[in-house]
Amino acid sequence: MTTTTKQPPHVLVFPYPAQGHTLPLLDLTHQLSLHNLTITILTTPKNLPSVSPLLSLHPQIHTLVFPFPSHPLIPAGVENVQELGNSGNLPVIAASTKLYDPIVTWFKSHTNPPVAIISDFFLGWTQHLAQHLNIPGFAFYPSGAFFAGIMNYCWGNLESVKGLGVVDFVGLPRTPSFKEEHLPSSFRMYRESDPDCQLLKDSLVANKLSYGFIFNTFESLEGEYLDFLKREFGHERVYAAGPINLLSPDSTDRGIPATSSSGHVFEWLDGCPDGSVLYVCFGSQKLLNKKQMEALADALEKSMVRFIWVVKTGTAQQVEDGYGVVPDGFDDRLAGRGLVMRGWAPQVKILRHRAVGGFLSHCGWNSILEGIVAGAMILAWPMEADQFINARLLVEELGVGVAACEGAAAVPDSEELAKVIGESMSEESTGVKMKAKELKRKALEAVKEGGKSLNDLNGLIKELCKLKIQ
């Protein structure tokens, strides 16, 4: 497969339409484009704006825009999981498979068709497509290697794992055990009789056909699990290029523009002592219910800690039901010590402010990486998806986080949560905070010249440059 052509290799990039999946793959695409690869990004009309910032940086990147395939469970006009919540993954993956034929037609009519496809691992069906087109497919994981090991085990042992209350992951480093309710949501939602579930299963199982695997993680964070995956896959084409957004010059302003009133937040932060502020945010999708909102508000108040609490706003009906509603009088009572931000916060910028020392998080992978890079200690409240696995890695394995609460529907005991917040934020020079700072140093080192993540990225680019049209 070595090439002598002067034309740069053409790569088709296919992001999955969810904020936490799209952004890291676009960060990787940015790097590929900097190395002069010819890129086509596959997207749909309503997801095109998320690609626009990258297109302004690299006008030479092509887009391939297909109408979003219809699905009975996806309202007309909806093209992103963000508008559906986590359960929307099933219909969105099922709908995406309808793009197989249009892609083949496009590919066959192209004068310089792609020599490789890089697609999100939720779009694993593209590995069949790559085989059909006789080109290598690379599976991109915006998430971690530990999680990938757990996912592969679940899907590879579907019959024996389904129905177990606790699963022992024999073969993975230290044979971790997880309760059924803490397994990945995509696996838990599997029902044999549901055709969408069959598409989901086929898609996730097909990832093992990938020629290469790209992870948004880094050696010092998950080296042991990356080695495990290399043994599992039987080759070395497992690239850990994370934290990928750190490879870009300014990655603090990405995705949805921040809520316009965020300026005063930084003024307020400027006046706070180093490491004294707890940042509270549960990602792009999660809306807390009334009882959870009340318990969290109470805990923040009792903790006596400075905080920024990002609160998503729901639909009119959700607001009426108390979802995302901050108890009356809370903002005024806590003014000076705490700030409530409604809407979309500039998370990366806030986390990197010297005043922020802790991050109460649902442990979404992007949030975790952003927290690590900021050197913030994580207070873990995993809820669904890969979050329980991520929390285990941070709290029990690496010691850079502490357990705060657990479960999507859990209502924390406000006294207990206040105690966890107060104690962990006051701990000064030892323990968790020190380990978090050390992990930050290693993350920054990984993306520097000679660092392992930068080497892996260069290895991937080298591999892509070896490919040529069959």
- Tokens for 200, please give them: 């989901």
Please identify, among the stretches 64-72, 329-337, 364-372, 428-436, the one whose residues bind ligand UDP according to the rule CB under 6 A. Answer: 364-372
* Residue 175: how many other CB atoms lie within 10 Å: 9
- Out of 150, 244, 345, 356, name the contact with ligand UDP by CB under 6 A: 345
- Out of 138, 155, 215, 344, name the contact with ligand UDP by CB under 6 A: 344
CA atoms within 13 A on the CB side of 86: 17
DSSP code for 17? S
State which of positions 240-259 bind ligand UDP (CB under 6 A).
255
Binding mask 266-285 for ligand UDP (x = CB under 6 A): ---------------x-xxx
Residues β-bridged to residue 38: 10
305 touches ligand UDP (CB under 6 A): no
* Residue whose pair of structure tokens reads 């108890």 in the numeric block: 327
Instruction: Give the whole-angstrom CA distance, residue 238 versus residue 184.
Output: 22
Please identify, among the stretches 3-11, 158-166, 360-368, 397-405, the one whose residues bind ligand UDP according to the rule CB under 6 A. Answer: 360-368
127 touches ligand UDP (CB under 6 A): no
Helix-, strand-, coil-residue percentages of the chain, each rounded to 5? 50, 15, 35
Q: Length of the chain, please?
A: 470
186 touches ligand UDP (CB under 6 A): no
456 touches ligand UDP (CB under 6 A): no
418 touches ligand UDP (CB under 6 A): no
* Residue closer to ligand UDP (CB basis): 129 or 281: 281
Burial class (CB within 10 angstroms; exposed 0-12, middle 13-18, buried 19+) of 273: exposed
Q: What DSSP string runs through 403-442?
A: E----SS----HHHHHHHHHHHHH--SSHHHHHHHHHHHH
Burial class (CB within 10 angstroms; exposed 0-12, middle 13-18, buried 19+) of 342: middle
20 touches ligand UDP (CB under 6 A): yes
19 touches ligand UDP (CB under 6 A): yes
Please identify, among the stretches 33-41, 99-107, 341-349, 443-451, the one whose residues bind ligand UDP according to the rule CB under 6 A. Answer: 341-349
* Residue closer to ligand UDP (CB basis): 370 or 463: 370
- Minimum Å gap between C-beta 358 and ligand UDP is 16
Instruction: Kindly list the residues in this chain that would bind ligand UDP in the complex (CB under 6 A).
Output: 19-20, 255, 281, 283-285, 310, 344-345, 347-348, 364-367, 370
